[in-house]
Amino acid sequence: MTAAVISHGSLEDLEFHRKVLQTCDLVICADGGAYHADRMGIEPQVIVGDFDSCDESFLQRFKNAEIIKYPSNKDKTDTELAVDYAAGKGHSHIILLGSTGSRLDHTLANIGLLKAMLDRGIWGEIINHKNRIFLIKDSIEVEGKGNFISLLPCSGDVTGITLRGFKYPLKDFTLRCGDSRCISNELLEEKGYIKISSGLLLVIIARD
């Protein structure tokens, strides 16, 4: 089952995000993400947060949503609370929308949630109209001829990187922390293959 968490970061191209939400079984808004849901004409099933970025009176327009309020002195971000809710309901695939933007601290924290989800056996993704971001610890097949794909180590050095179907293929390469060699590779085939031997690899599929 797939759940979507809408956060209060940047969310452009409403039609793109609306189509993503149509593939999800559960839609959760994290606090001010409720404004984005309203802009898209989407009624979430759940809205969670301390509501420091969303007026509680605004929530009254969502007649059927479950509202879960947390104290402002909580230990987790609203997005993490929403992820916890989806995980607790048994969702094995969680998509984060509106989770990047001008607040780099929140953007980085949300990327960190991909690791937390992976540790729980959940496939997590950050998606917007220009990017798809996820973590791997073994191998994956990617699609989209012409897309730019960047790789960043997320746990120190990542070893045994093998790429097939790319403009710049690799075999058993070690990507060290701080190395920019694997930024903006290009997928030349309809499908490409990424494999690693050890570590955690952040994969960013981007389009201009």
pLDDT at 36: 97
Query: Is domain 2-129 given the CATH code 3.40.50.10240 in the classification?
Result: yes
pLDDT number for residue 41 = 95
Fold of 136-206: Jelly Rolls (2.60.120)
Domain limits, the chain:
2-129, 136-206
The whole-number pLDDT of residue 43 equals 94
Instruction: Give the model's pLDDT for residue 208.
Output: 77
pLDDT of amino acid 57:
87
Contacts 24+ apart (CB under 8 A), 159-164: 159/196, 159/197, 159/198, 159/199, 160/195, 160/196, 160/197, 160/198, 161/194, 161/195, 161/196, 161/197, 161/201, 162/193, 162/194, 162/195, 162/196, 163/192, 163/193, 163/194, 164/192, 164/193
pLDDT of residue 187: 96
Same fold, 2-129 and 136-206: no
| Per-block mean pLDDT, blocks of 10 residues, the chain (208 long) | 96 96 97 96 95 88 93 92 97 97 93 96 96 96 94 94 97 94 96 96 92
